[in-house]
Amino acid sequence: MPLRPTQAAAFGIVQNTLERRLADLMRAQEQASTGKRILRPSDDPVGTSLAIDLRGEQDLIGRWRQTAATSQPYLDAANSSLDASHQLLGQIRSLAMQALSGTMGDTDREGVANQIASIKASLVDSANTAFDGKYLFGGTVSSSQPFTVGADGTVSYRGNDQLQSVILGLGVEVPINVPGSDAFMARDPRGLSLSGASGLAVANGPSQGDGWLDIEIRHDATAGTPGSGLVLTNGGADDTILGDRTLVIDAAAQTVRLGNGPIVQFPDATHPDAADFVVRDEHGALIHLDVTGFDGTDSNVTLSGSGSIRAGSGDFVALDLAEDDLQLVDPTTGAVMRVDATGVVRASTDVARFEGTLDVFAAIDGIIADLRNDAGLPIDEVQARMDARLGELIRNQDAMLTAMGRAGAATHRLEATDGRLANQQLTVAGRLSEVEDIDLTEAILNMTRAQQSLELAQMSGSRLLETTLLDYLR
């Protein structure tokens, strides 16, 4: 069929074209003015779905970064507080070392002890650091003070040993705390060791317990009678010898010797000390002799001390000096110690140390007690104990360093993760912009093109519509 144009069709075509061109122009204008290519999902469903995914990813990365940023201050606070604690320990160490050097008097030592005690108080404060209402060193117990000071000054830990982690990526979990159990209460149990004058030794059997406790070895009685008319003062009640010793009296020189101890002259009967003259053996074990009844003869007799033993607050049991695997139990702490009594030579209060179990506060408490030396221990014993305490202190200081290292590593991980995430965020933002946003040059070009098209359509349309045969009919 030949084409038969009609006015109605011409009007229709012009109208349609104008509508379409105007719609194009409006769309181009909308895109150029919003800068967005996708204004509603139907503009580009694939793009929309991608945009939602990308936005989700952006939110996710933003969430991780925000979590890292929120976590950072806690780690920083923990780090600086650990650093401060470490320095406090250093001060305590140098003070203790000074005191150990031996040139100090009792009052000086007391002063050092007081100084250390005040540093310990600062250390407890530091261990109880809270940031934004959260205690930093309680493991995952964060709303109550992890370290509490008892009436007797001992510090106990109320937290746990658990790590609190945040998620900073798919499968990326970063711990943001250092449990106090690791930083201030590090344990590295290495078994029992004993120190003291009695000659008590660690047996082969295993022991179990925590911290330090006293083993008291008591002298109960001395058997045997000294020769040469001498007698034991008070029946030997104040003696400290345990086991057999020979007592040799040389009348000519008026000397007496206990075991392999020094040969000493004893005084005349008229001397004020004559009723209570102390003789020591090579171990420092002593007997009290009343020399007023000296009959001028030589003698060589054997005296035998017997005693009993207890650990901590336990009951005294008679000490069998032939026992090489004696089990002692402290009912208070439940500590079990296996000791060898065969070497015991004198009464003494020894210290049983479960090496590597002393926390930092107990070690400091010990150092303070050693410095004050209320028990009046001989200086070399005090020094031996302080050496051991310092060992524990250094071990704790090392543990603190390790904890600081862990906090530092966590900080580093947070920072590294944040940097990586920032890059990733940029990439995602770029991709999102690629999907969602319009190229501005293109948008403006599009708009200009749409405008021109519309003008062209209007012009040509008006030309088409104004032609009619009527113009020429007369």
Q: Could you say which residues in the range 103-162 bind another protein, by CB under 8 A?
A: 132-135, 138-143, 160-162
Which regions of 409-462 does DSSP assign to beta strands (E)? none
Q: Which of 73, 184, 182, 74 is nearest to 125 (CA)?
A: 184
Q: How far is the CB of 316 from another protein (least distance, A)?
A: 22
Q: Enter the tokens of residue 120.
A: 């310990």
- 315: which DSSP letter? P
Q: Are 352 and 314 in contact (CB under 8 A)?
A: no
Q: Which uninterrupted H or E stretch holds 410?
A: helix 379-436
Stretch that binds another protein, among 38-46, 80-88, 105-113, 390-398 (CB under 8 A): 38-46
Residue closer to another protein, measured from CB, 122 or 144: 144
Residue closer to another protein, measured from CB, 51 or 289: 51
Task: Examine residue 209 and tell whether it contacts another protein (CB under 8 A).
Answer: yes
Considering only 8, 151, 252, 322, the residue that binds another protein (CB under 8 A) is 8
Q: How far is the CB of 396 from another protein (least distance, A)?
A: 17
What distance in Å separates the CA atoms of residue 284 and residue 287, rounded to the nearest whole number? 10
Considering only 18, 24, 27, 44, the residue that binds another protein (CB under 8 A) is 44
Q: How far is the CB of 401 from another protein (least distance, A)?
A: 21
Q: Which of 189, 188, 121 is nearest to 155 (CA)?
A: 121
Question: 34 in helix, strand or coil?
Answer: helix
Q: Which of residues 321-340 bind another protein (CB under 8 A)?
A: 336
Q: Which amino acid is at 66?
A: Q
Q: How far is the CB of 57 from another protein (least distance, A)?
A: 9
What distance in Å separates the CA atoms of residue 214 and residue 380, rounded to the nearest whole number? 17
| Separation of first and last alpha carbons in the chain | 33
Task: Examine residue 41 and tell whether it contacts another protein (CB under 8 A).
Answer: yes
Considering only 115, 145, 208, 424, the residue that binds another protein (CB under 8 A) is 208
Residue closer to another protein, measured from CB, 110 or 323: 323
What distance in Å separates the CA atoms of residue 474 and residue 426, rounded to the nearest whole number? 76
Stretch that binds another protein, among 84-92, 172-180, 303-311, 455-463 (CB under 8 A): 172-180
Q: Which of residues 252-271 bind another protein (CB under 8 A)?
A: none
Q: Which of residues 400-459 bind another protein (CB under 8 A)?
A: 436
Q: How far is the CB of 370 from another protein (least distance, A)?
A: 25
Task: Examine residue 391 and tell whether it contacts another protein (CB under 8 A).
Answer: no
Residue closer to another protein, measured from CB, 190 or 449: 190
What distance in Å separates the CA atoms of residue 241 and residue 226, rounded to the nearest whole number? 14
Q: How far is the CB of 333 from another protein (least distance, A)?
A: 12
Q: How far is the CB of 6 from another protein (least distance, A)?
A: 4
- Answer positive or negative: Cα dihedral of 73, 74, 79, 85: positive
Q: Which of residues 48-67 bind another protein (CB under 8 A)?
A: 48-53, 55-56, 59-60, 62-64, 66-67
Q: Which residues of 136-156 are buried (b: 16+ CB within 10 A; e: fewer)?
A: bbbbebbeebbbeeeeeeebe
For tokens 């104004």, name the residue.
466
Residue 183 CA from chain centroid, whole number: 1
Considering only 38, 352, 393, 404, the residue that binds another protein (CB under 8 A) is 38
Q: Which of residues 210-239 bind another protein (CB under 8 A)?
A: 210
Q: Which of residues 329-388 bind another protein (CB under 8 A)?
A: 336
- 36: which DSSP letter? B
Q: Enter the tokens of residue 192.
A: 């029992």
Stretch that binds another protein, among 173-181, 250-258, 368-376, 421-429 (CB under 8 A): 173-181
Residue closer to another protein, measured from CB, 1 or 322: 1
Residue closer to another protein, measured from CB, 119 or 163: 163
- Label residue 186 left, alpha or beta by phi (over 0 means left) and psi (-120 to 50 means alpha): beta
Count the site residues for another protein by CB under 8 A. 74
Residue 160 exposed, middle or buried by CB count within 10 Å (0-12, 13-18, 19+): middle
Q: Are 358 and 190 in contact (CB under 8 A)?
A: no
Residue closer to another protein, measured from CB, 66 or 265: 66
- 346: which DSSP letter? B
Task: Examine residue 205 and tell whether it contacts another protein (CB under 8 A).
Answer: yes
Q: How far is the CB of 358 from another protein (least distance, A)?
A: 14
